[in-house]
Structure 1
């Protein structure tokens, strides 16, 4: 039976645990098999090198929105995190995030031993936990109000991103477009393809893009391609870092 732990504090997860969800094997989908997302690319004038960026790419989970994977998913199964990691299928979640598995296939392959999962109950439990990281709704709102920078989401997540949007309205309220979520592109950070796909679609130079993520490895991968990296820790430091890159917030 699911345990509802919304009253508990939400400490940041140690890196050795966080890597278990975010570790990414070689991609199984080529860029030629993914369609370009429908949005206006950055204009030629703004894509040239200048002092101010034209795009912010935001990570979502544990950057904008609390990630319930580490505490609340194990609690749903009445397990510890380590117990869940030991019995779940080693690649099912990653394949679900890439869009290789649909939700029904994910449910069937979640556990190594093939035991069934009440997917609707699990989704409801996860959805209950989604919430803004403190101060981040204000920050992205201020960026949007500045009117000078496009904001897109570059996230490793399955189709459940639609639950986040339905609950928190990242796109509807703040214009944060779910353009580069992995289930749509087939690429997961820190694969170079995740960032290259975004740059191709945006039509701008990497130096015109700020990339914000709570995982240092993802930030470093973006920086290797020429993006301006911001390692997220909290809203206050993120605001200062973005402002230092020339965004008026």
Structure 2
């Protein structure tokens, strides 16, 4: 029995006990496999049609460092090159004189990126505010270096593929600016999930409870029927605080085991079926 899934209780993915012959894993009472969609049910009542069942749970995925490798920690410090002029910073992917993460964190504006993530400023304003001292840099070069670095985390695309095959409702739930469109252009995440909850379009960021409650309201679903997956425990705790189920992402193998232990079904890959690359 998965006793660690009680809402509001601190929960780590690795804490799920393994199934045994005498104590098989069971779906928590709150996580029924199907449910009528309230909005659809209302529409059906108006037209006299039978409502369609909704497959539960709904899955909410963080994107950066859960589905896609975040370039910020390894590639962005390497991008900024110190030139001979103290007032000018040039973009480079191959310069030996690279900024360290410590230097980047100390020199960047404390709120500019979060403002950009929430859609409060556009990328031109970001370029003006990115550094505390207002130094300029190659914005287009920065975007290009990020696009080059975007890639699926090993094994996660396969999980998304099987969730899609099994008709689960999957949504992005991410703190990211309008540049999420660059991620989509390169990796085509929309094959597997909807970009429904991006901080730049909703105007809220994790771990604000309002962001999670907005998702619940938008989806017309009980929070206990939402599984939220994120690599940051702070965000998991916020999800638990509103009654969602939380999974702390560490790697794809553990995530698949954890989802299976919650009763999430994975469609088998039939002979001849095309594998994701």
* Shift of residue 45, structure 1, vs aligned partner: 9.8
SS across alignment from 1:180:
strand
Name the TM-score, length of structure 2 as normaliser.
0.70
Asked if 1:221 is matched to 2:241, the reply is no
- Would the aligned equivalents of 1:46 and 1:54 in 2 still touch at CA under 8 Å? no
Instruction: String of CA shifts for 1:13-69, please: whole Å, max 9, x gaps.
Output: xxxxxxxxxxxxxxxxxxxxxxxxxxxxx713999xxxx833100000000000010
CA radius of gyration, larger in: 2
- Would the aligned equivalents of 2:64 and 2:174 in 1 still touch at CA under 8 Å? yes
Alignment of 1:26-105 (within 5 A): 43-44=37-38, 53-77=56-80, 78-105=98-125
- Would the aligned equivalents of 1:152 and 1:180 in 2 still touch at CA under 8 Å? yes
2:198 — aligned with what?
181
Alignment equivalent of 1:106, drawn from 115, 126, 134: 126
User: Which is richer in helix?
Assistant: 1
1:140 — aligned with what?
160
Q: 2: distance between equivalents of 1:92 and 1:135?
A: 33
Q: 2: distance between equivalents of 1:120 and 1:231?
A: 34
* Shift of residue 71, structure 1, vs aligned partner: 1.3
Instruction: String of CA shifts for 1:213-234, please: whole Å, max 9, x gaps.
Output: 0001101110111111000000
1:202 — aligned with what?
219
- Would the aligned equivalents of 1:131 and 1:168 in 2 still touch at CA under 8 Å? yes
SS across alignment from 2:124:
helix
* Shift of residue 137, structure 1, vs aligned partner: 0.3
Q: 1: distance between equivalents of 2:105 and 2:254?
A: 32
* Shift of residue 90, structure 1, vs aligned partner: 0.7
Asked if 1:242 is matched to 2:254, the reply is no
- Would the aligned equivalents of 2:39 and 2:220 in 1 still touch at CA under 8 Å? no
Deviates more, 1:224-233 or 1:239-248: 239-248
Q: 1: distance between equivalents of 2:166 and 2:197?
A: 22
Alignment equivalent of 1:163, drawn from 179, 182, 190: 182
1:131 — aligned with what?
151
2:52 — aligned with what?
none
Name the TM-score, length of structure 1 as normaliser.
0.78
Structure 2: tracts of 5 or more residues without a match: 1-35, 42-54, 81-97, 267-277
* Shift of residue 212, structure 1, vs aligned partner: 0.3
User: Which is richer in strand?
Assistant: 2
Q: 2: distance between equivalents of 1:112 and 1:153?
A: 31
1:20 — aligned with what?
none
